[in-house]
Structure 1
Amino acid sequence: MLRGGYPDRNVLLVTGAIMVAAAIFFWQLLAIIILAGTLAVILLPIHRQLTRVIHPGVSALLIATLVIVFVTTVISFTIAVFYTNSALIEEIIDTILLWLTTLGASGTPTVGESELNDWIMLQINSLTTWGVSLIYRAPRIVLDILIFLMALMAFLYKGEEIFTETISALPGRLSSGLREISKTVVDTLYAIYVVHVVTALITFLLAIPFFYVLGYDHILFYATIAAMFQLVPILGPSLLMLFLGIYAFSMGDYRGVALIGLVGYPVVCALPDLVFRPLIMGMRASINPLLMWIGFFGGLAIMGIIGFILGPLIIAFVVSGYMLLIRELQMAKKQEAPDTNEGS
């Protein structure tokens, strides 16, 4: 029942209580469901195209299946590359350790071999512990993946329809405000998913010819690490270049050091970040990059890996909400001005 053109307050309270109870009950799955919803927003244009020729339910199932195949392929490829090059990693570490030991013996101040060995063993033990925990959590991980797939299909199948119905049922100004917020959120999700993935792919393609010229073999291994590091905001593959620079210096390969500093960093690290990323970002308006970084690092610090997505998303809500509030306050101020003039 409507009262004065507004929904009944009791109905709103009951509906809100149901939503809050559902969020509390499914709290442990909330991050997975939100992740599926954000990914569905990005995949929605593909879903619209497919529904022109196939049933929407079939389209949602097909897209969800392709997402799992893509993610599984990327993870399997990365693991295979690291496994087949494990001897190379050990060789690089041993070379750097030997170089540091030699420097220490000559009296040059450097990091001690024992300290570096301890740090390396700590990282290996942490990785091993993490791997063992994954084995124990395998049933829960499988269940989470199934829930993610079902949520993704549900959002693709009915998400747009629910959003349209909700927006159309709201008052005019509130409806237009939420549409603006949704646009900012979509642009932010585009920046998170599409821009990062495309920039990482560009980094991978640029790294292949560079590492070929560098002449260290294992080109696919180095290019894969560079692409993975590109997914880390700000730092990017610069850490890889620093590590390889130390490795080249420890072998006395000054040509390699020069190539890494004069070609590797500008082309593989700086070019994707300073040229291609802004170019791709320019295709869709988004929030200030500095705020995006705050969202990335703040989300990672507070929420873990899922914070990489949710952090910038929350920042997008805050920024768009702030802009909407300022606009409403300015409109209210303009409406007050004529009343003030009439009173005088």
Structure 2
Amino acid sequence: MQPSRRTALAVLLAGLLVLAAFVLQSVLSTVVFAITVAYVLYPFREMVSEYGYSGRIAAGAATAAGFLGVVALALPLAYVLYRRRLDLLVFLEAIPERIVVDLGAFVYVLETAPVFQTAQSALRSLAISLAGAAPVIALKSVVFVILVYGLLLKPNAPRVAALRLCPSEYHDVLFALHRRTASTLRAIYVLQGATAVATFALALVTFAALGYDSPFALAVVAGVLQFVPVLGPSVVIVTLAVVDVVAGNAFRAMIVLVVGLILVGFVPDAVIRSRLAGGATDLPVSVYFVGFVGGLLTLGAVGFVVGPLVVALLAETVRLLSENGIATQQRLPGIGTDPDPTVDGTPSETDDESAP
């Protein structure tokens, strides 16, 4: 490809990317999340292909695995809420109009009527918002599934475009950024899963020690909520404290707030995640948390992935600069692995976009 034509196409691509980001800003976070998930699912797609299945079947199997993984996260929470729905109704009906909290020398009286009115208004507004957003959520889910499937079906398409637009002397930069992207994304999702498992274990021990009914179910909910940024398992702790206050057990409510928020809400993120983050993402713990927290505050839920990824790519670029941009010359891989090399970076006959 002639340099002038390559430059013109690169400029055109950059302009169209900016235009697409503006036009598709409502689904931009969905697109970004789908790309990160495709990176993580690519090894599974390749494993299916190695058994002799076609690219379409392999992409469909990987997409289904990702979808079932999301369902598996939401299913325990939905099951617990469904099984405990009658207990929740009985609890709400048993709440008196006035709750007296006796802490020895201090006695507090809590009027529940204003709290109930505020809660009812909030729940009503939430229900209306969810009902109105249901079609949008459904459409975004469809976009997510289709995009993940498309990326896994033709994983070489971005590679071919990048090779043709980027001069061969800069291919090593693309190789390095790609490798860092793939390793960081997989580490982030594995790290999140490990933190959720640790949250479940700590919650199970804490709730059993404090004498709560169904500690296993409560621990499952706490572990699943670890995937919800910011609030996470703290919702379970606060809810249990409220239940204890209503039941007149103010002492256990205070214990679960202090011990639960520390062991279940704080330790998994601040201690376990930080210990695993350095080795998993190949980033200093402080740098990882800057990306994690900054991504959450700036981009919302998808920021827990994008934030550390951006920081990791920045660190990789700094590394390349410190090494004078010298890296091992090799082929820019597809979404997940390194394909067969070529001499000059020009796609070969096997580089058709439909190649697995």
Q: If the length of structure 1 is used for normalisation, what is the TM-score?
A: 0.73
Larger mean CA deviation between 29-38 and 83-92 belongs to 83-92
Q: Which residue of 2 aligns with 1:98?
A: 99
Change (3 A) 1:23 1:89: same
* 1:294 partnered with 2:283: no
Q: Which residue of 2 aligns with 1:68?
A: 67
Q: Which residue of 2 aligns with 1:146?
A: 142
Find the aligned partners of 2:269 and 2:40 in 1 and give their Cα distance. Answer: 22
* 1:204 partnered with 2:200: yes
Query: How far has the Cα of 1:42 moved from its partner?
Result: 0.8
SS in 2 for 1:36: helix
Q: Which residue of 2 aligns with 1:226?
A: 222
Q: Which residue of 1 aligns with 2:345?
A: none
- Tell me if structure 1 keeps the 8 A contact 2:242–2:253: no
Q: Which residue of 2 aligns with 1:165?
A: 160
Q: Which residue of 2 aligns with 1:41?
A: 39
Structure 2: which amino acid aligns with 1:296? F
Which of 184, 190, 195 is the equivalent residue of 1:188?
Answer: 184
SS in 2 for 1:113: strand
- Tell me if structure 2 keeps the 8 A contact 1:187–1:286: no
Q: Which residue of 1 aligns with 2:23?
A: 25
SS in 1 for 2:280: coil
- Tell me if structure 2 keeps the 8 A contact 1:211–1:219: yes
SS in 2 for 1:20: helix
Structure 2: which amino acid aligns with 1:64? T
Q: Which residue of 2 aligns with 1:131?
A: 127
Query: How far has the Cα of 1:267 moved from its partner?
Result: 6.6
Structure 2: which amino acid aligns with 1:31? S
* 1:311 partnered with 2:307: yes
SS in 1 for 2:50: coil
Q: Which residue of 2 aligns with 1:338?
A: none
Query: How far has the Cα of 1:237 moved from its partner?
Result: 4.4
Change (3 A) 1:201 1:301: same
Q: Which residue of 2 aligns with 1:113?
A: 110
Query: How far has the Cα of 1:266 moved from its partner?
Result: 8.0
Change (3 A) 1:118 1:314: farther
Q: Which residue of 2 aligns with 1:16?
A: 14
Change (3 A) 1:7 1:124: farther
Within a 5 Å distance, the mapping from 1:48-67 to structure 2 comes to: 48-53=46-51, 54-67=53-66
Query: How far has the Cα of 1:32 moved from its partner?
Result: 1.3
SS in 2 for 1:177: helix
* 1:2 partnered with 2:5: no
- Tell me if structure 1 keeps the 8 A contact 2:237–2:256: no
Task: Among all aligned residue pairs of Structure 1 and Structure 2, give the percentage whose two residues are the same amino acid.
Answer: 24
Q: Which residue of 1 aligns with 2:76?
A: 77
Query: How far has the Cα of 1:217 moved from its partner?
Result: 1.1
Query: How far has the Cα of 1:46 moved from its partner?
Result: 0.8
Find the aligned partners of 1:126 and 1:310 in 2 and give their Cα distance. Answer: 31
Find the aligned partners of 1:19 and 1:274 in 2 and give their Cα distance. Answer: 37
Change (3 A) 1:23 1:277: closer
Structure 2: which amino acid aligns with 1:74? L
Larger mean CA deviation between 214-223 and 276-285 belongs to 276-285
Change (3 A) 1:199 1:113: same
Change (3 A) 1:287 1:232: farther
Change (3 A) 1:22 1:319: same
- Tell me if structure 2 keeps the 8 A contact 1:230–1:236: yes
| CA shift digits 1:149-168 (9 cap, x unpaired) | 11001111222x13433454
| CA shift digits 1:41-88 (9 cap, x unpaired) | 011111110111211211211222232233234324313313433536
Specify every segment of 5 or more residues in structure 1 that has no aligned partner in the other structure, as ranges. 332-344
Q: Which has the higher contact order (CA 8 A, sep 6+)?
A: 2
SS in 2 for 1:217: coil
Query: How far has the Cα of 1:133 moved from its partner?
Result: 1.7
Find the aligned partners of 1:201 and 1:270 in 2 and give their Cα distance. Answer: 14
SS in 2 for 1:287: coil
Specify every segment of 5 or more residues in structure 2 that has no aligned partner in the other structure, as ranges. 328-356
| CA shift digits 1:318-342 (9 cap, x unpaired) | 33334434444899xxxxxxxxxxx
Within a 5 Å distance, the mapping from 1:253-264 to structure 2 comes to: none
SS in 1 for 2:283: coil
Q: Which residue of 2 aligns with 1:342?
A: none
- Tell me if structure 2 keeps the 8 A contact 1:245–1:260: yes
Change (3 A) 1:309 1:278: closer
Query: How far has the Cα of 1:258 moved from its partner?
Result: 7.4
Structure 2: which amino acid aligns with 1:16? A
Find the aligned partners of 1:109 and 1:256 in 2 and give their Cα distance. Answer: 15
Query: How far has the Cα of 1:172 moved from its partner?
Result: 4.5
Q: If the length of structure 2 is used for normalisation, what is the TM-score?
A: 0.71
- Tell me if structure 1 keeps the 8 A contact 2:287–2:311: yes
Q: Which has the higher helix share?
A: 1
- Tell me if structure 1 keeps the 8 A contact 2:35–2:151: yes
